[in-house]
Structure formats: C-alpha cells, structure tokens
Chains A and B, each alone.
Chain A
Amino acid sequence: MSDQSVIGAGSLVRGNLSGEGSLEIAGSVEGDISLSGDVNIAESGSVSGSISGALITISGEVSGDVTSSESITVDANSSVTGALSAPRIGIAEGAAIDGQVRTGGGAKAAAPRTAAAESAAPARPVANRPAAAKRPAAAKATPKKKAAQRRPPPPVVPAPRKGSKARKKTRRR
C-alpha cells in the first residue's frame, strides 16, 4: 500500500512531485512529476506540468511534456497538450494530442539525437563541398538535388538524405 501514491479526486497539488514508487492521479497537479515508477492519470485527473516515469498511462488531461523510460499509453477521451517521448507509445482512437510524438529512445534519446544530427553534418561536405557545412539546411537542399540528378542511385545519395531529415527535425524544434 505504501509504495503506491494516490492524489485523490478533490485533491490539488501545486508543486513538484518526485521520488520512487508509482503514482495515481485522480485529482489535479499543477507542477512537475518525476518518478522512477509508473504514473497513471485517471479520467478525473489532470496535470499541468511535465511528467516523467516508467509506464505512463493517461486517461485524463495533461498539459506538458510526457517522457517515459518504458511506455506511454494515451486512452480514448483523454487529452494531451505537449510532447510525448518514450520507447513505445500507444494512442487510442478518440484521444486528443497536440504536440510532438516521438518513439524509440525515450528520455535517453534526447542527448544521442543531437549527437546523431551533428555526426550527420560532416558526412555532407564529403558528398558536396566542405564550405557548405555551415550554411542552413534550406540552402543545402538545392546542391543535393542537383547531385541526385547527375547520378541517380549511387550509395552516396541516401546518406545525405537521412542526414537532412534528421537535421530538419532538430531545427524545427
């Protein structure tokens, strides 16, 4: 009993929750939640603030980023305003989500993602010109297309494309 925390319906927490164990929220939380265990937001529950935990289940309302080390499940009739990031994400029909959804790396992906984008950058000058490295992605897109037209399928082309996708994603954020 004592490693399962509950914020009951009719309860409001204004502040941060952190620590171990699992948490069920049937009331409201205005603040950040950071737990090593599972977080379950019941239908009557609402959170405005970021959430991080292991298995996160959302049946209520969340406004803030949700990051999980395992999985996020967004049930029907729930609503999320903010980014979802986890190795596995499940979204039920009827759920309202406004924000970026990213699967694959969870919390750990944040650092490697930028590292991957940076390592993709030097790959580009090899295909084009070294001077192009510092130009914005939009400026680079044209020379890349030209290169593609000259030599349609060689293995050089797919690599920069992957790089450009990863790059645009990170810029958009």
Chain B
Amino acid sequence: MTGTVIATGLTIEGEITSDGEVVVHGSVRGSLSSNDAVSIASGGSVEADIQADSISVAGQLTGNVTATERVDIQTGGRLIGDVKASRLTIADGASFKGNVDMDV
C-alpha cells in the first residue's frame, strides 16, 4: 500500500485520515489522523491536530499532537501545541512550546 505524500506546493484544507504513512512536504490545515507514522518534512507546514502511531516533526507544526508510540521533534523542527505520547524526543536545535503529557 502506498503511503500519502503531500508534496511541496500542495495545500490541503480539511480532514485527512489514513491507514498508512503520511508525509507532508507541503501544507495542511485542518486535522490529520493516521494508523501509521506521520512526518512533517523540513519545509512542510501543518496547522492541524494530529493523531498517529508516531509523529516526526522537521518542519513547522501548530496543533495538538497525540501519538500512541512516539513524537520526535527534529533539528530545525518547530512545534507549537501540546504533546501526548509515551515517548518524546526533542533534538538539539528544535523549537517547542506546549505541554507534555507522557501518560505516567
């Protein structure tokens, strides 16, 4: 099964639900949920709440994030919003503003 790729230059306004992996190079406004991994590539911009297995942020993300596995904010990534996940990494050089709930 092919994953979903939102390429540079494409904008989606609305709701995305997917069984597979979602990669965002372009922009998404609305909501995004996946039963697999979601990654926001460098240059990608998302204004949406995200629900997924794992979430990786190398671009810009504004919205609350819930992951069943993990959230990784990578170098150059920027996340504004609350994170709910059992595992979270914030790389050196990443920006983050929000609350963390690790389900302790």
The A contact surface, by secondary structure, is: strand
Q: How many residues of B contact A (CB 8 A)?
A: 26
Taking a contact as CB atoms under 8 Å apart, the answer to whether A20 and B9 are in contact is yes
* CB contact between B26 and one of A5, A7, A8, A9 (< 8 Å): that residue: A5
Q: A7 to B1, alpha carbons, bound, how many Å?
A: 11
Taking a contact as CB atoms under 8 Å apart, the answer to whether A19 and B26 are in contact is yes
Taking a contact as CB atoms under 8 Å apart, the answer to whether A16 and B13 are in contact is yes
* B7 sits at the interface (CB 8 A): yes
Taking a contact as CB atoms under 8 Å apart, the answer to whether B12 and A15 are in contact is yes
- Given contacts A2-B25, A2-B41, A8 and B11 within 8 Å (CB-CB): no
> Across the interface, which residues of B come within 8 angstroms of A6, CB to CB?
2-5
Pair count A-B, CB < 8 A: 90
Of residues B16, B22, B25, which shows the largest number of chain A Cβ atoms within 10 Å of its Cβ? B16
Taking a contact as CB atoms under 8 Å apart, the answer to whether A17 and B17 are in contact is no
B47 to chain A, nearest CB (A): 13
Taking a contact as CB atoms under 8 Å apart, the answer to whether A19 and B10 are in contact is yes
Q: Which of B9-42 contact A (CB under 8 A)?
A: 9-22, 25-26, 30, 41
B95 to chain A, nearest CB (A): 23
Binds B, one of A21-29, A110-118, A130-138: A21-29
A152 to chain B, nearest CB (A): 59
Q: Which residue of B lies closest to A35 (CB)?
A: B10
> Across the interface, which residues of B come within 8 angstroms of A27, CB to CB?
4, 18
Taking a contact as CB atoms under 8 Å apart, the answer to whether A4 and B12 are in contact is no
> Across the interface, which residues of A come within 8 angstroms of B20, CB to CB?
8-11
Q: Which of A34-70 contact B (CB under 8 A)?
A: 35
* A14 sits at the interface (CB 8 A): yes
Taking a contact as CB atoms under 8 Å apart, the answer to whether A5 and B2 are in contact is no
Taking a contact as CB atoms under 8 Å apart, the answer to whether A17 and B10 are in contact is yes
A residues near B (Cβ < 8 Å) are: 1-23, 26-27, 31, 35
B residues near A (Cβ < 8 Å) are: 1-22, 25-26, 30, 41
20 contacts between A and B (CB under 8 A): A1-B5, A3-B8, A3-B9, A5-B6, A6-B4, A8-B2, A8-B20, A9-B1, A9-B20, A11-B17, A11-B19, A15-B16, A16-B12, A18-B10, A19-B10, A20-B9, A21-B7, A21-B8, A23-B7, A26-B2
